[in-house]
Chains A and B, each alone.
Chain A
Amino acid sequence: DQQVKQNSPSLSVQEGRISILNCDYTNSMFDYFLWYKKYPAEGPTFLISISSIKDKNEDGRFTVFLNKSAKHLSLHIVPSQPGDSAVYFCAAISSGTYKYIFGTGTRLKVLA
């Protein structure tokens, strides 16, 4: 039972345009969400996070939106750059469990 899903395995976007990566979850106990970025042959690196008490968090070109009623979050990257090409994982936590539940990842390719 995959509690966190990223239904798009891949996405291609033109440089300068907006990239939108989506993530859906099923467990209403999740109250904190994170996005990680992963390059080939490297471990995931933290990108941005959001608490369930917020609906938006912004950090430079990266914005995460959370829609609790829909159990959906999205990561917006604008403008997209070729260096953003990587696999993006969303992760969810319910407080006190100490563990992340990761999605399966979306491979983003930004075309120059």
Chain B
Amino acid sequence: DADVTQTPRNRITKTGKRIMLECSQTKGHDRMYWYRQDPGLGLRLIYYSFDVKDINKGEISDGYSVSRQAQAKFSLSLESAIPNQTALYFCATSDLSSSATGELFFGEGSRLTVL
């Protein structure tokens, strides 16, 4: 089983619908991230959370919200999806303890298409 699991892996939805992408991890990491990947733009950070009570906006948070339900779970919501939110979304985790060096562990990605 994957250490970082994203659901759904693929979703097609219509403009205006509410969508939730879920991420769960078994690595015991305190830090979780949501990234969006668009062709030619690389990965851009949407939101990140350093622990259950700490939520921070990334560079492209408009139109998104998140919930850190537990240390192991971090959900991304699109309250009213629009076509330009069509992208590949990645959840990632990390553990920046004093001995760690910042490697991110990625889920397999969730491909979202908004029609």
The answer to whether A and B belong to the same complex is: no
Taking beta carbons and an 8 Å cutoff, which residues of A are in contact with B?
A: none
Taking beta carbons and an 8 Å cutoff, which residues of B are in contact with A?
A: none
